[in-house]
Amino acid sequence: EAGVVQSPRYKIIEKKQPVAFWCNPISGHNTLYWYRQNLGQGPELLIRYENEEAVDDSQLPKDRFSAERLKGVDSTLKIQPAELGDSAVYLCASSLSTPNNEQFFGPGTRLTVL
Amino acid sequence: AQSVAQPEDQVNVAEGNPLTVKCTYSVSGNPYLFWYVQYPNRGLQFLLKYITGDNLVKGSYGFEAEFNKSQTSFHLKKPSALVSDSALYFCAVRDRGGNNRLAFGKGNQVVVIP
């Protein structure tokens, strides 16, 4: 079974530039998550999708962050413009819909903003 | 809101000795509890979960965890540590009746000394 795929793995940009991350979840997983993991911390949820609907985006900084999940499969997370404090690892995860199911994580995108 | 405390930054253990990684949680209702492991430059991998039933849960790679409701704890254990168990371990909790959000602890670095 293929796992969660993310690209790119690494991204270095200058502040004020835009950046986008892509995620392809495990086939059949209706729920998709984007997390941000700062150095020395656990992941923090940015947004959760059930199929194509964003059902929990309360922790997404909507002034600069946006996300979409067209057709309820792949997803893209965008930052525009990036700030120095956005440097982190961005993790995508997917799961079956019921809340007691474990989440499967991709390898993440390590973003460095200079 | 739900939260997790992992009080130790690093756990050092000699190869072959028992390994314990501590976790306490806080939820308003009943919890779903999870342990994940993260190897360098890789995403989080699911180890085990507590949903209901037997308080002792067995998971991957010989790990187990014990749910203790009175102490609100879910410590991870392995009877005999391997050098390959050296990694970052995260405890996570989800409130069954809450916002369906998974809250992670800050993680514990486990170092198994040959």
Helix H or strand E encompassing B88: strand B87-95
Test mutation, A5, A10, A100, chain B, max B CBs within 10 A: A100
User: Cα(B103)–Cα(B86) distance, rounded to whole angstroms?
Assistant: 23
Region of A96 please: left (phi>0), alpha (psi -120 to 50) or beta.
beta
Chain B positions touching A107 (Cβ under 8 A) are 41-43
Residue B42 vs residue A16, higher pLDDT: A16
Between A70 and B78, residue with greater pLDDT: B78
Q: What is the mean pLDDT of residues B11-18?
A: 97
- What is residue A102's DSSP assignment? P
Scanning A39-68 for CB atoms below 8 A from B yields 40-45, 48, 56
Question: What's the pLDDT band for B99 if we cut at 50, 70, 90?
Answer: confident
For chain A, state the CA radius of gyration: 13
- The tokens describing B84, both together, are 């390959």
- Name the nearest CA neighbour of B89 among B16, B20, B30, B28: B20
- In a 10 Å sphere around its CB, with 0-12 CB exposed, 13-18 middle and 19+ buried, how is residue A21 labelled? buried
pLDDT tens, residue by residue, B48-61: 999 988 999 999 99
φ and ψ at residue A85, rounded to 5 degrees: -70, -5
Alpha helix ranges (H) inside chain A: none
Digit-coded pLDDT (tens) for A73-84: 999 999 999 999
- In angstroms, the separation between the Cα of residue B34 and the nearest Cα of chain A is 8
